[in-house]
């Protein structure tokens, strides 16, 4: 057996017990069982249906603003970017090489991650002592929660967060339940990968450490394995640290600028909690709140008390940091799993087995009711009618989203074709001899990424921008003597160029967040070279 925290030298045992078996897992009595036993085959089928659901519906609207950013970043592979670590751009690069550029291809990764979360949530429930109904209930809650439905339908850095956070939690549970400190090494590996996906997983790490210190599981710090896990996480994350050092910590500068601009909606603690309820679906609130209470107070889940403390620490951290309402979302599958275990236990104890199918049906019905709000199952015109009938307004995380007809995650899937077409009109109006030296300057990575991706069919060159990582890619050799400029004011441009021609605005798309974007052709720079001007176009916010 391996070394464990708080024990003496390990005694010899059968080889099959020395390492966790890949295909087998342990029940409460320590007897090994097949992975698909105890209801996991039903959960696996539910995961397949979840993947098929996202695969079928995720091409209904258009490409999302951030998806353009990830694809552009994937075309410039590096160990970091101004607004994100490198994992998602790397994965989308591989995905596009294998599956192509269709919406379904671009959104293959989030659909797969959503299916994996269903299985992982049930696995956590099983390790917490749940039987068949607890596994099924936990899986259903992971399916119907709006925030996880959303993560499965769009390529964002949020899509992998829940499985990476819960991967860490799963190995922490295994380390405790199986008295095998080596699982802390795997905790560190997953945490390191998580840091390469989104930095906020550091809050989970902080919560786990605090939870260990506040419970008897602090003995884990006496084992070498938790320290080896910390080293593994650091080494996996090190390339991104070095990139940030080399580029003068752009992410911290970005976060400072966002806070200074007051861009994000800041929520007081009670409203932040209320939006957690909405993001997870009000109908699941009794389940995850039960799970939290059980992790903090129940005797049955006392060995995992650190997870309750971890949640409280993470909640407090995001409130104090004025985090967006969805920043805490990756932590809830463990609470849903714990709640499912306790509800199953209560039903068995009271012998009210009829409640099991009723609870599942109610959850699925409630999930279906809110699903159109986050997955494009309805045409836009029918969605607007649906949204007007909801008893609440969809939460907005940024002030700039307030005036949009659609929620931001939908509104930012419209308008890009119209913008690109107008830029192509300006490009085609130039004499062929001038096109080679004429760049296209966009104001944000959405506009620039749309031109990079959609503009290929028009023969447009890659766009320039001072927004986020586009700034680091620089002027790309353009002199600036001829630029097609999007979304600026003519009087400002006339101060920089001898000749400014207004081409027109992009065709209005009433559903888009960015509507009627003006396009100009600018010639004869007054500022010298574009390299000289470049530091002034930097926009990290």
Q: Which of 374, 399, 426 is the last residue of a domain?
A: 374
Asked whether residue 358 falls in the same domain as residue 421, the answer is no
Beta partners for 32? 26
Residue with tokens 């985090």: 323
One domain, residues 150 and 270: yes
Which residues are CB-neighbours of 172 under 8 A, at least 6 positions away? Answer: 183, 184, 187, 208, 306, 307
Does position 33 have pLDDT exceeding 80, yes or no? no
Q: Which two tokens stand for residue 235?
A: 């080494």
537 burial type by CB count under 10 A (0-12 exposed, 13-18 middle, 19+ buried): middle
> What pLDDT is recorded for position 198?
96
Whether residue 359 is found in the same domain as residue 428: no
CA–CA distances in Å: residue 102 to residues 61, 97, 460 = 12, 11, 19
d(CA 507, CA 489) in angstroms, rounded, equals 18
Asked whether residue 345 falls in the same domain as residue 427, the answer is no
Last residue of a domain, one of 374, 407, 432: 374
pLDDT at 12 over 80: no
Cα separation values, 185 from 19, 80, 163, 203, 229, Å: 13, 25, 17, 18, 4
pLDDT at residue number 541: 84
pTM greater than 0.85:
yes
Same domain for 426 and 359? no
Radius of gyration from C-alpha coordinates of the chain: 26
Helices 332-350 and 305-320: crossing angle in degrees, nearest 10, is 140
**CB-based contact 124:138 (threshold 8 Å):** yes
The band of 224, judged by pLDDT with boundaries at 50, 70 and 90, is very high
**What proportion of the chain, given as a percentage, has pLDDT over 70?**
91
Query: Is residue 4 in a domain?
Result: no
More confident residue, 135 or 390: 135
Task: Identify the domain containing residue 533 by its residue range.
Answer: 416-537
238-248 pLDDT, tens per residue? 999 999 999 99
C-alpha–C-alpha distance, residues 302 and 487, integer Å:
57
Q: What is the pLDDT of residues 63-86, one digit of tens each?
A: 999 999 999 999 999 999 999 999
CA 413 to the chain's CA centroid: 17
Same domain, 137 and 275: yes
Number of domains in the chain: 2
Least confident stretch, 193-202, 305-314, 476-485: 476-485
- Asked if the structure places residue 397 within a domain, the reply is no
pLDDT value of position 32: 55
Structure tokens at 14: 């059968």
pLDDT at 250: 94
Among the three residues 374, 402, 430, which one is the final residue of a domain in this structure?
Answer: 374
Query: DSSP 3-state assignment of 166?
Result: helix
> Of 42 and 262, which is predicted with more confidence?
42
In a domain, 17, yes or no: no
Q: Which two tokens stand for residue 329?
A: 């979302």
Residue 474, pLDDT above cutoff 90: yes
The arithmetic mean of pLDDT across residues 158-164, rounded, is 96
Residue 394 located in a structural domain: no
Decide if 404 is inside a domain.
Answer: no
Tokens 């751009």 -> residue: 89
C-alpha 522: how far from chain center: 38
Residue 401 has pLDDT above 70, yes or no: no
Residues whose CB is less than 8 angstroms from the CB of residue 383 and which lie 6 or more positions away in sequence, other chains included: 372, 376, 406, 410
Co-location of 106 and 190 in the same domain: yes
Q: Is the pLDDT of residue 383 over 50?
A: yes
Domain membership flag for residue 222: yes
* Beta pairing class for 482-486 and 439-442: parallel
Whether residue 368 is found in the same domain as residue 433: no
pLDDT at 16: 37
Is residue 23's pLDDT more than 60? Answer: no
Give domain status of residue 141, yes or no: yes
Residue 118 lies in a domain: yes
- Please tell me whether residues 356 and 429 are part of one structural domain: no
Same domain? For 370 and 463 the reply is no
**Distance (Å, rounded) from C-alpha 441 to C-alpha 486?**
6
Residues 424 and 521 in one domain: yes
3-state helix, strand, coil in the chain (%, to 5): 60, 5, 30
**pLDDT for 259:** 81
* Residue 138 sits in the same domain as residue 59: yes
């Amino acid at each position: 057996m391996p070394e464990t925290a708080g024990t003496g030298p390990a005694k010899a045992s059968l080889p099959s017990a020395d390492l966790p078996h890949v295909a087998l897992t342990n029940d409460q009595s320590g007897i090994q069982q097949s992975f698909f036993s105890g209801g996991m085959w039903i959960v696996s089928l539910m995961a397949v249906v979840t993947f098929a659901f996202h695969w079928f519906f995720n091409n209904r609207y258009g490409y999302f603003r951030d998806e353009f950013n990830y694809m552009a970043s994937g075309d410039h592979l590096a160990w970091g970017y101004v607004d994100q670590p490198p994992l998602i751009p790397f994965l989308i690069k591989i995905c596009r090489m294998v599956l192509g550029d269709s919406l379904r291809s671009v959104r293959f990764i989030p659909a797969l991650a959503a299916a994996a979360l269903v299985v992982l949530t049930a696995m956590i429930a099983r390790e917490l002592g749940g039987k068949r109904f607890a596994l099924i209930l936990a899986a259903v809650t992971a399916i119907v929660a709006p925030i996880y439905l959303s993560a499965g339908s769009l390529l964002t850095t949020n899509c992998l967060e829940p499985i990476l956070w819960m991967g860490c939690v799963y190995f922490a549970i295994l380390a405790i339940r199986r008295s095998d400190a080596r699982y802390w090494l795997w905790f560190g590996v997953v945490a390191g990968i998580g840091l390469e996906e989104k930095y906020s997983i550091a809050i989970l790490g902080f919560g786990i450490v605090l939870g260990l210190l506040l419970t008897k599981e602090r003995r884990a710090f006496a084992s070498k394995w938790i320290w080896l896990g910390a080293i593994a996480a650091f080494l996996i994350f090190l390339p991104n640290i070095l990139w940030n050092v080399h580029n003068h910590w752009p992410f911290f500068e970005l976060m400072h600028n966002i806070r200074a601009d007051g861009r994000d909606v800041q929520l007081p603690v009670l409203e932040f909690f209320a939006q957690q309820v909405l993001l997870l679906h009000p109908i699941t609130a009794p389940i995850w709140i039960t799970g939290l209470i059980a992790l903090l107070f129940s005797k049955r889940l006392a060995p995992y008390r650190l997870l309750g403390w971890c949640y409280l620490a993470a909640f407090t951290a995001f409130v104090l940091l004025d985090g967006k309402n969805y920043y805490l979302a990756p932590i809830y599958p463990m609470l849903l799993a714990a709640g499912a275990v306790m509800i199953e236990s209560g039903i068995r104890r009271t012998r009210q087995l009829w409640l099991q199918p009723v609870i599942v049906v109610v959850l699925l019905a409630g999930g279906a009711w809110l699903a159109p709000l986050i997955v494009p199952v309805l045409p836009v015109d029918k969605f607007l009618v649906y949204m007007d009938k909801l008893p609440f307004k969809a939460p907005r995380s940024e002030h700039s989203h307030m005036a949009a007809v659609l929620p931001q995650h939908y509104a930012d899937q419209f308008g890009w074709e119209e913008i690109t077409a107008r830029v192509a009109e300006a490009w085609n109006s130039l004499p062929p001899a001038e096109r080679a030296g004429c760049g296209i300057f966009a104001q944000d990575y959405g506009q620039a990424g749309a031109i990079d991706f959609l503009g290929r069919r028009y023969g447009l060159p890659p766009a320039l921008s001072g927004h986020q990582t586009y700034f680091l890619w620089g002027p790309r050799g353009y002199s600036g003597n001829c630029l097609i400029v999007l979304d600026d004011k003519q009087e400002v441009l006339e101060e920089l160029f001898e000749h400014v021609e207004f081409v027109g605005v992009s065709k209005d798309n009433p559903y888009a967040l960015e509507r009627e974007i003006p396009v100009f052709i600018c010639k004869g720079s007054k500022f010298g070279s574009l390299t000289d001007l470049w530091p002034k176009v930097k926009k990290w916010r």
